[in-house]
Amino acid sequence: MSSKSSSIESVLTENRSFPPPEAFAKAARVGSLAEYEGLYARAERDPEGFWAEQAAELAWARPWSQVLEWKLPDARWFVGGALNASVSCVDRHAASWRKNKAAILFEGEPGDTRVITYGQLHREVCRAANALTALGIRAGDFVAIYLPMIPEAAIAMLACARIGAPHTIVFGGFSSEALADRIGDCKAKAVITADGGWRRGAIVPLKDNVDHALAGTTVEHVIVVERCKNQVAWTSRDRWWHDVVDTASPAHEPVAFDSEHPLFSLYTSGTTGKPKGILHTTGGYLTCAAYTTKLVFDLRDDDVFWCTADIGWVTGHSYVVYGPLANGATVMMYEGAPNAPRTRAFTSGRDPGAGLDRFWDVIERWGVTVFYTAPTAIRAFMKWGDQHPAAHDLSSLRLLGSVGEPINPEAWMWYRKEIGGDRCPIVDTWWQTETGSIMISPLPGATPTKPGSATRPLPGISIDIVNKDGVPVGPNQGGFLVITRPWPSMLRTIYGDHERFRTTYFGEIEGCYFAGDGARRDADGYIWIMGRVDDVINVAGHRLSTMEVESALVSHPKVAEAAVVGRPDDLKGQAIVAFVTPRSGFIGDDALAKELREHVAKHIGALARPEEIRFADALPKTRSGKIMRRLLREVASGSTARGDTTTLEDQGVLEKLAQSFAHDD
Ligand code: 7RM
């Protein structure tokens, strides 16, 4: 083990000896549905008063003079206020009894571990801030971060925030072209990367990718964390993190920035090929990240919160770094793949197994109490088999979360039973990169859940479901999900394209924010997200949501996962093609295909019976678990043009699917 690691047991014992939880929340834990409704009503009556109360939980250097200035589509929150995000996330805890509390529990894919207390995090963030400043990075300069899930990722983000340099994180699984596009778009002055990162036992060559991406860019400096000790090329703009950060002073006087100072931009794909740089600002974003973490996950000082998202995704921004740290919580950070075993060097020579239980192993060894992951991961776990979680003691868990796509009821039930042991509430949280923080979610212990529904909006969030004229639709009628009032963590613009921002989000439905999702609200006021409105197939003049057909398929006991697309069809306009991954132990043969076609016909109607069923071991997905239907459409229609595949997690999957098509036909 490296000298940086310390024993897990000692940290957890330390945690238990701290004083009981205190002062997390003035808007305390919500204990019942009536209490939720009361809080919701209060926020509706006085939204600005409500949000001011939430913002007051942060450390402000200068109070705001006005809560909100709103001129659709432009919002300014906490106008005149000034703060430094890293002070709320780090300094105030480091200056309290939490200084020796673990902020980050880290496990690398090989099995190496580190524990970083709030006191240590403070010193590291200060060092990194000093190092960036010494290199000439100033407030307003963009810094690109291209790192694996290692503590330096959080440290780099907070150091950028500390000096007012907005960060743009590019997911480590993205190619050098994707990185170059994003660096070029935000005109980043520096890149923080690593020599490599571990993924399924292999090294992702991050530094090499950066080198390829940098030709003809504005980047002046590259800071490289030594992680895998793989060989890297070196130029005059490169610096080792340990040379510039470890040697810098651990003291740094933070400057306060305007509440509307940009905190970060994060690229997300849109309907056109060009990714959108979603811009978030400081006061409003941090207010909501902190508020929603407190409300939805109800974190206490003895919790270990594990949000499995990579920091390259907005979920990692809000629920690995800004939200939990603003609350003084302990977060778990794991570098690698969910199906990678530790190496023998870290299992005291014991057989590490195949690694299909890695997440449960992490939960057990670190005592994770709150676990937040994506339905796609849950369906993978189902596919790998129940014996893997069953082999571990998961009794430390008290709350489970889901995010990224609608969770099918079967996966929900499996999650509840096999992982939560029927004991843990599940929070199904709906939100977007654009919303910055959770908008719709049950509150544990207050909102009765229904499998597959994100339930009701959080206090302060005004949601409606409307038709294209903006008229609210009735119960159980499908419509567009909109947010009818501004909220502090709303995106402020698409970087460099304010007009696209206006038309995309405020130009579709008069007077409100258009999320791009279809949804319905049931008679109890529960919201059911139906998926992106552009994922619609038209079969013989009937509009079908791909989601609907997929839900029917995954309700079949032999199906682990399904993706449905339309293929041009001379007769019907579009024909339904379903890509299906069977659950372990079942074979995708003609008999199963027939069974599934009938199953869908029975559940939805003959109209929805898939024309064709294609079995595949895996579906092409983004890292956050969103099935890339566009690619499947291309495969299904026999086209070889692939367009932009930079967000695809595993390029191999696509090759396989295309081949299976060519050979089977
Ligand atoms: C956090 C995140 C946003 C899109 C969104 C939805 C889908 C996310 C849920 C969900 C149903 C959920 N940001 N989505 N969460 N659909 N239930 N709980 O995923 O910008 O990457 O994606 O994801 O379609 O519009 S994101």
Residue 647 reports pLDDT greater than 70: no
Distances (CA, A) of 23 to 27, 28, 52, 144, 448: 10, 9, 17, 35, 26
Q: How far is the CA of 447 from the centre of ligand 1 (A)?
A: 20
Distances (CA, A) of 660 to 139, 616, 639: 52, 8, 14
Q: Domain for residue 531, yes or no?
A: no
Counting from 1 in the atom list of ligand 1, the atom nearest the Cα of 515 is 25
Label residue 376 by pLDDT band (50, 70, 90). Answer: confident
Tell me which residue of 197, 241, 223 sits closest to 108, measured CA to CA.
197
Q: How far is the CA of 8 from the centre of ligand 1 (A)?
A: 34
Q: Phi and psi for 78 in degrees, rounded to 5?
A: 60, 50
Around Cβ 19, how many Cβ atoms within 10 Å?
7
Hey, which of 271, 317, 407, 431 would you mutate to test ligand 1's pocket, going by the most ligand atoms within 8 Å of its Cβ?
431
pLDDT of residue 369: 98
Q: Are residues 468 and 562 in the same domain?
A: no
Counting from 1 in the atom list of ligand 1, the atom nearest the Cα of 516 is 25
pLDDT of residue 87: 98
Q: Are residues 459 and 553 in the same domain?
A: no
Residue 15 reports pLDDT greater than 50: no
Q: Domain for residue 287, yes or no?
A: yes
Higher pLDDT, 109 or 639: 109
Q: Are residues 365 and 284 in the same domain?
A: yes
Q: How far is the CA of 162 from the centre of ligand 1 (A)?
A: 29
Tell me which residue of 545, 560, 529, 661 sits closest to 607, measured CA to CA.
545
Q: Which two tokens stand for residue 102?
A: 């673990």
Q: Are residues 480 and 622 in the same domain?
A: no
Of 18-22, 419-423, 641-645, the least confident: 18-22
Three-state SS at 394 = coil
DSSP track, 488-515: TTS--EETT-HHHHIIIIISSSTTSEEE
Q: Domain for residue 513, yes or no?
A: no
Q: What is the CATH number of the domain that holds 403?
A: 3.40.50.12780
In the chain, the percentage of residues whose pLDDT exceeds 70 is 91
Label residue 319 by pLDDT band (50, 70, 90). Answer: very high
Q: Which two tokens stand for residue 353?
A: 């197994």
Higher pLDDT, 209 or 16: 209
pLDDT of residue 284: 98
DSSP track, 100-168: GSEEEEEE-TTS-EEEEEHHHHHHHHHHHHHHHHHTT--TT--EEEE--SSHHHHHHHHHHHHHT--EE
Average pLDDT value for residue range 43-68: 98
Label residue 602 by pLDDT band (50, 70, 90). Answer: confident
Angle (CA) 149-151-154 rounded to 5° is 85
Counting from 1 in the atom list of ligand 1, the atom nearest the Cα of 532 is 24
Higher pLDDT, 357 or 545: 357
Average pLDDT value for residue range 38-48: 98
Q: How far is the CA of 179 from the centre of ligand 1 (A)?
A: 23
Q: Do residues 73 and 505 lie in contact, with contact meaning Cβ atoms separated by under 8 Å?
A: yes
pLDDT digits (tens, 9 = 90+) for 71-108: 999 999 999 999 999 999 999 999 999 999 999 999 99
Q: Left (φ > 0), alpha (ψ -120 to 50) or beta: where does 349 sit?
A: left
Residue 566 reports pLDDT greater than 90: no
Q: Which two tokens stand for residue 160?
A: 């950028």
Q: How far is the CA of 430 from the centre of ligand 1 (A)?
A: 6
Q: Do residues 542 and 607 lie in contact, with contact meaning Cβ atoms separated by under 8 Å?
A: yes
pLDDT of residue 539: 77
Distances (CA, A) of 18 to 11, 15, 458: 11, 6, 31
Q: How far is the CA of 23 from the centre of ligand 1 (A)?
A: 31
pTM exceeds 0.95 for this model: no
Q: Give me the amino acid identity at 277.
A: G
Residue 272 reports pLDDT greater than 70: no
Query: Which of 493, 511, 527 delimits the end of a domain?
Result: 493
Average pLDDT value for residue range 406-426: 94
Average pLDDT value for residue range 628-650: 72
pLDDT of residue 449: 94
Residue 21 reports pLDDT greater than 50: no
Of 319-328, 330-339, 606-615, the least confident: 606-615
CA dist 479 and 589 (Å) reads 37
Counting from 1 in the atom list of ligand 1, the atom nearest the Cα of 315 is 1
pLDDT of residue 173: 83
Q: How far is the CA of 414 from the centre of ligand 1 (A)?
A: 21
Number of H helices, E strands in the chain: 22, 31
CA dist 420 and 360 (Å) reads 11
Counting from 1 in the atom list of ligand 1, the atom nearest the Cα of 268 is 20
Q: How far is the CA of 643 from the centre of ligand 1 (A)?
A: 23
Q: Are residues 478 and 553 in the same domain?
A: no
Task: Provide the Cα torsion 332, 337, 343, 346; round to 10°.
Answer: 0
Q: How far is the CA of 404 from the centre of ligand 1 (A)?
A: 4
CA dist 346 and 62 (Å) reads 48
Q: How far is the CA of 524 from the centre of ligand 1 (A)?
A: 22
Q: How far is the CA of 531 from the centre of ligand 1 (A)?
A: 8
Of 362-376, 403-417, 543-557, the least confident: 543-557
Of 386-395, 474-483, 638-647, the least confident: 638-647
Hey, which of 427, 432, 453, 536 would you mutate to test ligand 1's pocket, going by the most ligand atoms within 8 Å of its Cβ?
432
In the chain, the percentage of residues whose pLDDT exceeds 90 is 73
For ligand 1, atom 1, name the residue with the nearest CA.
432
For ligand 1, atom 8, name the residue with the nearest CA.
404
Counting from 1 in the atom list of ligand 1, the atom nearest the Cα of 529 is 11
Helix (H) or strand (E) holding 185: helix 176-186
Counting from 1 in the atom list of ligand 1, the atom nearest the Cα of 440 is 18
Q: How far is the CA of 69 from the centre of ligand 1 (A)?
A: 28
Label residue 468 by pLDDT band (50, 70, 90). Answer: confident
Residue 50 reports pLDDT greater than 70: yes
Hey, which of 491, 529, 551, 627 would you mutate to test ligand 1's pocket, going by the most ligand atoms within 8 Å of its Cβ?
529
For ligand 1, atom 6, name the residue with the nearest CA.
405
pLDDT of residue 418: 98
β-sheet bridge partners, residue 479: 519
Q: Domain for residue 178, yes or no?
A: yes
- Pocket around ligand 1 at a 6 A CB cut-off: 268, 314-315, 403-406, 428-433, 454, 515-517, 529, 532, 624
Higher pLDDT, 538 or 443: 443
Q: Phi and psi for 382 in degrees, rounded to 5?
A: -60, -40
Q: Are residues 568 and 437 in the same domain?
A: no
For ligand 1, atom 13, name the residue with the nearest CA.
432
For ligand 1, atom 23, name the residue with the nearest CA.
404
Q: How far is the CA of 280 from the centre of ligand 1 (A)?
A: 17
Higher pLDDT, 17 or 410: 410
Hey, which of 278, 307, 405 would you mutate to test ligand 1's pocket, going by the most ligand atoms within 8 Å of its Cβ?
405
Label residue 604 by pLDDT band (50, 70, 90). Answer: confident
Residue 502 reports pLDDT greater than 50: yes
Label residue 547 by pLDDT band (50, 70, 90). Answer: confident
- Average pLDDT of the chain? 90
CA dist 569 and 573 (Å) reads 5
Residue written as token pair 């990185």: 179
Label residue 607 by pLDDT band (50, 70, 90). Answer: confident
Q: Do residues 148 and 172 lie in contact, with contact meaning Cβ atoms separated by under 8 Å?
A: yes
For ligand 1, atom 19, name the residue with the nearest CA.
404
For ligand 1, atom 5, name the residue with the nearest CA.
432
Distances (CA, A) of 650 to 12, 558, 621: 36, 24, 7
Residue 5 reports pLDDT greater than 70: no
Of 372-376, 398-402, 552-556, 601-605, the least confident: 601-605
Label residue 120 by pLDDT band (50, 70, 90). Answer: very high
Helix H, strand E, coil C: the string for 588-604 is: CCHHHHHHHHHHHHHHC
Q: How far is the CA of 22 from the centre of ligand 1 (A)?
A: 32
Distances (CA, A) of 484 to 433, 439, 481, 506, 520: 18, 12, 10, 10, 16
Average pLDDT value for residue range 517-541: 84
Label residue 23 by pLDDT band (50, 70, 90). Answer: very low
Residue 11 reports pLDDT greater than 60: no
For ligand 1, atom 16, name the residue with the nearest CA.
405
Q: Do residues 321 and 422 lie in contact, with contact meaning Cβ atoms separated by under 8 Å?
A: no
Q: Domain for residue 251, yes or no?
A: yes
pLDDT of residue 619: 86
Average pLDDT value for residue range 287-300: 97
Q: Are residues 482 and 545 in the same domain?
A: no
pLDDT of residue 16: 30
Question: Mutual orientation of helices 590-603 and 546-554 as an angle, nearest 10°?
Answer: 120
Q: Domain for residue 530, yes or no?
A: no
Looking at residue 565, what DSSP letter applies?
E
> Contacts from 501-506 at CB under 8 Å and sequence distance 24+?
501/73, 502/73, 504/270, 504/276, 505/73, 505/434, 506/72, 506/73
Q: Which two tokens stand for residue 516?
A: 């791009």
Provide the CA 448 distance to its chain's centre, in angstroms: 24
Q: What is the CATH number of the domain that holds 648?
A: 3.30.300.30
pLDDT digits (tens, 9 = 90+) for 232-267: 999 999 999 999 999 999 999 999 999 999 999 999
Average pLDDT value for residue range 443-447: 94
Of 225-234, 309-318, 472-481, the least confident: 472-481
Counting from 1 in the atom list of ligand 1, the atom nearest the Cα of 433 is 20
Q: How far is the CA of 440 from the centre of ligand 1 (A)?
A: 11
> Could you tell me how many residues make up the chain?
665
CA dist 120 and 111 (Å) reads 21
For ligand 1, atom 2, name the residue with the nearest CA.
432
Q: Domain for residue 22, yes or no?
A: yes
Q: Are residues 98 and 247 in the same domain?
A: yes
Hey, which of 505, 517, 520 would you mutate to test ligand 1's pocket, going by the most ligand atoms within 8 Å of its Cβ?
517
Q: Give me the amino acid identity at 308.
A: T
Q: How far is the CA of 506 from the centre of ligand 1 (A)?
A: 19
Average pLDDT value for residue range 506-511: 94
Would you call 177 exposed, middle or buried from its count of C-beta atoms within 10 A (0-12, 13-18, 19+)?
middle
Higher pLDDT, 658 or 10: 658
Q: Where are the beta strands (DSSP E) in 396-489?
A: 399-402, 426-428, 463-466, 479-483
Q: How far is the CA of 413 from the centre of ligand 1 (A)?
A: 20
Residue 329 reports pLDDT greater than 80: yes
Q: Are residues 363 and 430 in the same domain?
A: yes
Residue written as token pair 């919500």: 30
Residues of the domain holding 415: 6-493
Average pLDDT value for residue range 469-487: 93
Three-state SS at 216 = coil
Helix (H) or strand (E) holding 312: none
Average pLDDT value for residue range 577-600: 93
Average pLDDT value for residue range 584-589: 92
Task: Classify each residue of 2-15 as buried b or exposed e, where b means 16 or more C-beta atoms within 10 Å of its C-beta.
Answer: eeebeebeebbeeb
Query: Which of 475, 493, 511 delimits the end of a domain?
Result: 493
CA dist 586 and 351 (Å) reads 28
Tell me which residue of 435, 160, 187 sits closest to 289, measured CA to CA.
435
Q: How many domains does the chain have?
A: 2
Would you call 54 exposed, middle or buried from its count of C-beta atoms within 10 A (0-12, 13-18, 19+)?
buried
Q: Are residues 275 and 418 in the same domain?
A: yes
Tell me which residue of 408, 434, 401 sits closest to 296, measured CA to CA.
401
Query: Which of 493, 524, 553 delimits the end of a domain?
Result: 493
Residue 360 reports pLDDT greater than 80: yes
Counting from 1 in the atom list of ligand 1, the atom nearest the Cα of 622 is 21
Q: How far is the CA of 207 from the centre of ligand 1 (A)?
A: 31
Hey, which of 266, 307, 378, 403 would you mutate to test ligand 1's pocket, going by the most ligand atoms within 8 Å of its Cβ?
403
Q: Domain for residue 102, yes or no?
A: yes
Tell me which residue of 44, 27, 71 sits closest to 461, measured CA to CA.
44
pLDDT of residue 177: 83
Q: How far is the CA of 403 from the centre of ligand 1 (A)?
A: 6
For ligand 1, atom 12, name the residue with the nearest CA.
430
Counting from 1 in the atom list of ligand 1, the atom nearest the Cα of 313 is 21
Q: Are residues 477 and 567 in the same domain?
A: no
Q: Are residues 474 and 547 in the same domain?
A: no
Tell me which residue of 520, 382, 377 sits closest to 454, measured CA to CA.
520
